[in-house]
Structures are given as C-alpha cells and as structure tokens.
Amino acid sequence: MKKRTMTSAVCSLVFLQSLILPAFSAETDLTQIETKLPVTGISAQDQSRVDALFKLYRPYSEKPKACPLESNHHKEILSKIENIRNLFKDNCMDQDQARLDAILTGAQSIQNSLNELGVDADSNTTVNTLINGDIPAGDGTTVSGAQIANVFNNINNIFLNGKCKLNKGSFLEQTADIIQSFAQMGLLVPNQNGLVIAGGGLALSSILRAIDSIFTDRFNFDEIKDRQTFIKLNCAFYDLRQDVQNAGLMDVGTDQHKDDLETAKALIKSVEAKIKEVTTNKEKIQKEIETAKAEHIKKTLDDLVPLEDSVKKALSQVQIPVADTDGVPATTIKLRAINNLAKLYLTMKSQLDAWFDSGLNSIPVMDIMMKQELSKLDFATNPTEFQNLIGMDVKEFNNTFRANLLFHFERVTGDIAASREAIAKKWLKDTLIHGKDVAAYLKDLDKRVLETSKKLTEAQKQMMTTEKRLASALGESDFTSSDDGSENVVNILSQYEEIASQVYGKWGYEFMDYTTQTAVKKNDDFHSKFEKFARNHLDKVVMDNGKAEYLVRHPSELSELRIMYACQDAMPFRRVYKYADGLVQQGYDFIETNKRLFHADVPSGLFGIRSKFRLLQMHHKSSIFAKKIIGGQRVSRDNYENYIEARYGSKQKKFLGAVMLDVDASRTKAGVLQKLIEAYQCDKVTMEETN
C-alpha cells in the first residue's frame, strides 16, 4: 500500500507539471487580429492629398531671428498694462478716470481668462483651440477680442485725445511691449500653442490703430528707446501681417478654392473616422487577447473550473465561525451550514474525485484528510458521522469540522489560482503576435497607436486650418459679432495699408539710413583703431599675394605690463566692431522681416531722385547680392555695380549690402583681437588689475 501511494504521488507530481506548464504548439498565432482590427492611419493616397493641400494653403510660420518667438507665457500682460495705466494716472485730469479704470478692469479680465485657460508662465499645457469663439474651452472660458479692443481703444484715446501730460518716450516703449505680447497670441488664427482669440478681428483692428498712432507721431533713432520701440512694433506688425495672411483675408476665391474646400472637408471626415477607428480597434484587440487567454486557461484547467466555483461556495459557509447572529441562535446557523454543505457535497463529489486523482497537491495526505472530513456530509453512506455533526457542540464544531474544511477549501482554491496564474504566464510568453510575445506586442501596439493618433491629429489640424482659410477666401464665413463682420475686415486692411506705408516709407527709410550709416562710422572707427593697435601689439607679415597678415605675439615674449596694455586696448576695440556688426544685423533683420512689403509699385521721386520707397528696395536688393558674395557665390558685374557699388544722396551713402560686405571684411581683423584676448586671458588680466 505504501509503495502504491508513493507511485501515485510521483505520478501526481508529473501531472502537476504538465497542468501548470501545458504543452503548446511552438507558437500560438494571433497575427490575424489586426487584419480585422487595423490600427493604421489614413491611406497613402489620402495622406498625399492632405500634404498637397496643406503645402498649398499652410500658414506662413517663418519667424525673423530679430523677433521673439511665440510664447504661452502671458502672465506679464496685466503688469505691462498696469505700467501704462500708471503712466497716465499721475498726469491725467479727472475726466479721464473712467477710461483709466476701464483699462485696468479689461486687463484684469483678459488676464483671468488666460490664467483659466492655462496660458501663464507656470503652464506648459497647450490651451484649447477657440475657433471664432464658437468652440469654448472645456470650462466655457474664452479670451475676448472685444475686451482686448476696449483696452487698446482706451489707451489710444487717452494718448490722442485725453488731458494727459506724459513722457511720450516711456509711453511708446511700454505700449510697444504690450502690442508685441498680444500680437503673438493668434488674433485671427491659432498660434503655435493652439490659442486663438474669440472675436480676434476687433482686437487686431484696435492694435493696428494703436501701431498707426505711434508711427504717425515720431521716432528719433538716435535714442535707444525709440529704436527699441520701432523694432518691437516692427516685429508686432510682422506677427499681425502673418495673422491677416494666414486667415485668408488677402485671398481671392477661385473655382480651384471651391474644389479644394470640398476635398478638405471630405478629408476631415475621413481623418476623424480613422481617429475613432484606431482608438476603438485598440480596445477591441486588447479585449480579444484577454478573451483568448481566458479561454485557454479554461480549456487547460477543464474540470477544475466548475470545482473552483463549487469550492468557493462551500468556503463561504465556513469562513466565519458559528455564533449567535441578529437574534438567530448559533445552533440554527450551524444546522444551516451543515445542510448547505451537504447539498454542495453532492455536487462536488465527482468534481473532487477528479481533483484527488489530478494530484495537484504535492502532499497527498492532505487530500486524504479532506476526503475523510467531507465524507461526514454523506448522510446516505455515513449516517453515524452525519448525526454526530448534527449533535456536535457549536464550539467543537467551530474548532474541528469547520476549521478543517476552512483549511482544505482555502488550500484547493489557492492551488487552482496558482495553476491559473502559471498557465496565464506561460500563455503570454508562448503566444506570438507579429513575432512578439503578448507583453511586447501590447507595448508595441500602444506605441504604434500613439504615433498613428499623433499623425492623424496633425492631419486633422492641417485640414481644419486649410478649410478655415479657404472658407474665408470664398466668403463662407458667417459674419457675426464673434468673427467681426465685413466692416471690421475693411478696418483691418485700411490700418494695415497705413502702417505698411509707414514701414515701407518714411520710418523704414529713416531707420535703415540711421542703421547703415552708423554702422559705416563704427566700422571705419574700428579700422583706424585696429591699425594703431596693430602697430603697438601685433606682428605684421606681408604674404606672397601681397596681403598683410597680423600675428599675435606669444605671451611668454611679453611682460605682464605689455600684456595688460594690449588687453586694455583690444577689448574696447572689439566692442566697436561688435557694435558695427550688430547694427548691420539689425538692418538686415528689418529688411528680411519686411521684404514682402517691398513691391515695385512705388513713386520714382522728383527730378530723377530716388524716392524713399525706391531706396528701401535698393537696400533690400543690395543685401541679397551681398549675402551671395559672403556665401562665396558669384554676382554679375551689372548687379554688383547697380546694388553694391551704387550710392545715394549728396553724401554718397552706401546701401545695406555694401555695408554688410565692409563689416564682413573687418571680421578677420576682429578675429585677431579675439585670438589675442583669449591667448592673453584678458578677462582675467583686466579683472586682476581692478581688484
């Protein structure tokens, strides 16, 4: 008997191994799951149509290096407007008090809206897109273009018509700062952070009016504040021009636009359907994998699944010790438990036989004990033991029969659960989808769905932008108070023309004249200083080609005093060059920022003298050819003579391109100063001398 029991135990262990680690075919293949549940983007043909349409109508987004990039950090807007209010407050009579209060109230409301949308210095969250005020943020918050317009109208009215006595330089500087902040916010179309202003045309028109008022006043480019103000306004006008262009206000509707609009609308529907499909199919794939796993576990466990359910029901009868409960005597509860367990035993008997034969328990004696305890419930074959249970004291019942069954039922459910977990783990490892185990496949699925959704969302955004621009060009926009109406479009374009004529005219000319001629003076000053510096501190070598080269003397050849003298001269002379170089860059930035304004339809000037418009064109064209020369490209003799060698005015002033070449030619000499400063560690030398 002992020998047979041992043999049975060994066989049981073998069976246990085979059940916990079931034999599979080499790979369980679920690759077909994505055939019926694809998680791909739109077709290559549709993507090609999206790319082609967006390329044709995409918003112009190039940003001049001289102008600050768009930002979602608008928290300082309120403080900037408060600065304007404070400029007025101490210098205005009582009749302007209402306007002053309106300025601050409007600014506070705007700032509150921005903060609620998450558009502040502490937020990296892209705000909700608000198209024409029709699609509010999740909490119903919008940024009102009308409020922005009221703030600027009040500032403008006090400045032009009020009783204020103020420092115009400070006013211009502060106002330009505010204008620049608002111009980056996306008044007609969403900016790069997704923010657009509801009723933004009103705001745009008012800001353009404020810019025009400043341009109409005056600039003195010898003053740093005036130059900075002009540059800020120039950048703001650039941003606003892009808004006007990207919103389609300049576009003239054509039959091609109609066809493209219908295509864009169809693509939007197609993309939106794909976005929904990808998300839904991902969830279905995950669900099907879970279903396949559950079915495999059920199939592998076979008869143990119904046993598990039965044992769980039986376990509920013995989990809590028998005691008086809610007026029901403990004896009654004991009898109920015995009755329920006896009924369950009739169901479990055949299931338990399969369990005992399976040998899932590595200690067979435990199964023998369990069988003995359960046999007491069989009143048909074991009436004496059954009667003993009926008459057993409650305390004894709790501490013997109930306690023993509690242990065995928990043991069985635990063993089955462990088997279930082992089977699931092996299935996840052995089941391959697209050559990956389930965990790796699901990770890859998440990644692919994320990438696909991102591409689809971008395509959706591109087509919505295209649709909006084409609708504007074709006049399909509904002219309501939220998107300003046709009269406001007229105001915008009218102010646009006024400012463009100032930039491409008087102030543009004077800014370029100041910039280029000051750069010439500083560059000439650098040359004269360098020649003197070279005689005192450098070695001059004439090369075979006749050109002179300047060499830095080794510091070991010089006394500390000579090194100090060289440093004292080199650092300010280098600064002179950087000033000239900065001025030229500033001039080039202005030309580059406004190059789209320099059209050919300009007056030629009286008596053959070039007009300011024509001179700005010359600055622009000369910079193009100068940049080619600096880049090592060839320029025709005619272009060189007409745009590089050409001069204007009684003082024979140089155009920007010629100045660019002059300053670039000085770069080699400035580089010698830089080498000397680094070789002699001038920063350290001059600091030690001042300590």
pLDDT value at 491 more than 70: no
Give pLDDT tens digits for 658-685: 999 999 999 999 999 999 999 999 988 6
Give the C-alpha separation, 68 to 63, whole Å.
8
Report CA-CA distances (Å) from 466 to 215, 246, 492: 34, 9, 22
H or E stretch at 626: helix 612-630
φ/ψ of residue 360, rounded to 5: -65, -25
Give pLDDT tens digits for 274-299: 999 999 999 999 998 998 898 888 88
SS3 content of the chain, % helix, strand, coil (to 5): 70, 5, 25
pLDDT value at 202 more than 80: no
Residues 6+ apart with CB under 8 A from 683: 677
Give pLDDT tens digits for 132-162: 333 333 333 455 556 666 666 666 665 555 5
Using DSSP bridges, classify how beta strands 431-433 and 28-29 pair: parallel, antiparallel or unpaired.
parallel
Q: What DSSP string describes 32-99?
A: THHHHS----S-HHHHHHHHHHHHHHPPP----TTSPPP-S--TTHHHHHHHHHHHHHTT--GGGHHH
Q: Which residues make beta-bridge pairs with 328?
A: 325
Across the chain, what does the average pLDDT equal?
A: 75
pLDDT tier at 586, thresholds 50, 70, 90: confident
State CA 647 to chain mean position distance. Answer: 48
User: Which residue matches tokens 């496949």?
Assistant: 441
φ/ψ of residue 224, rounded to 5: -60, -45
Query: Nearest-5° angle of CA 263, CA 464, CA 42?
Result: 60
What pLDDT, on the 0 to 100 scale, is given for residue 308?
A: 85
Residues 6+ apart with CB under 8 A from 618: 610, 643, 646, 648, 655
pLDDT tier at 4, thresholds 50, 70, 90: very low
Residues 6+ apart with CB under 8 A from 35: none
pLDDT value at 3 more than 60: no
pLDDT tier at 612, thresholds 50, 70, 90: confident
Give the C-alpha separation, 152 to 210, whole Å.
7
pLDDT value at 627 more than 90: yes
**31: number of Cβ within 10 Å:** 12
What pLDDT, on the 0 to 100 scale, is given for residue 300?
A: 84
Give the C-alpha separation, 626 to 621, whole Å.
9
Give the C-alpha separation, 503 to 480, whole Å.
32
Q: Is 412 exposed, middle or buried (0-12, 13-18, 19+ CB in 10 A)?
A: buried
φ/ψ of residue 248, rounded to 5: 85, 10
pLDDT value at 190 more than 50: no
Find the largest Cα–Cα distance for the chain: 135
What pLDDT, on the 0 to 100 scale, is given for residue 589?
A: 85
φ/ψ of residue 198, rounded to 5: -70, 125
pLDDT value at 321 more than 60: yes
pLDDT tier at 17, thresholds 50, 70, 90: very low
Q: Is the dihedral of CA 257, 258, 263, 267 positive or negative?
A: positive
Q: What is the 3-state secondary structure (H, E, C) of 196-208?
A: CCECHHHHHHHHH
Question: Six-digit token pair at 339?
Answer: 């009755």
Residues 6+ apart with CB under 8 A from 299: none
What pLDDT, on the 0 to 100 scale, is given for residue 86?
A: 54
Q: Where are the domains of the chain?
A: 61-253+475-500, 312-433, 506-690
pLDDT value at 18 more than 60: no
Q: Is 364 exposed, middle or buried (0-12, 13-18, 19+ CB in 10 A)?
A: middle
3-state DSSP assignment of residue 117? coil
- Determine which of 210-219, 240-249, 404-413, 564-573 has the lowest per-residue pLDDT on average: 210-219
- Determine which of 59-63, 111-115, 216-220, 350-354 has the lowest per-residue pLDDT on average: 111-115
Give the C-alpha separation, 464 to 468, whole Å.
6
Percent of all residues in the chain with a pLDDT value above 70, rounded to a whole number: 62
State CA 548 to chain mean position distance. Answer: 53
Is residue 307 within 8 Å of 352, Cβ to Cβ?
Answer: yes
φ/ψ of residue 62, rounded to 5: -60, 135
Question: Which residue from 132, 247, 170 is spatially nearest to 482, judged by alpha carbons?
Answer: 132
| DSSP summary character for residue 610 | P
What pLDDT, on the 0 to 100 scale, is given for residue 100?
A: 61
Question: Which residue from 686, 685, 630 is spatially nearest to 658, judged by alpha carbons?
Answer: 630
φ/ψ of residue 665, rounded to 5: -65, -25
What pLDDT, on the 0 to 100 scale, is given for residue 347?
A: 83
Residues 6+ apart with CB under 8 A from 20: 418, 419, 422, 423
pLDDT value at 395 more than 90: yes
Q: Looking at residues 506-513, what average pLDDT do you find?
A: 82
Q: How much is the pTM?
A: 0.54
Give the C-alpha separation, 410 to 361, whole Å.
12
pLDDT tier at 115, thresholds 50, 70, 90: low
Give pLDDT tens digits for 40-66: 888 999 999 999 998 888 876 666 666
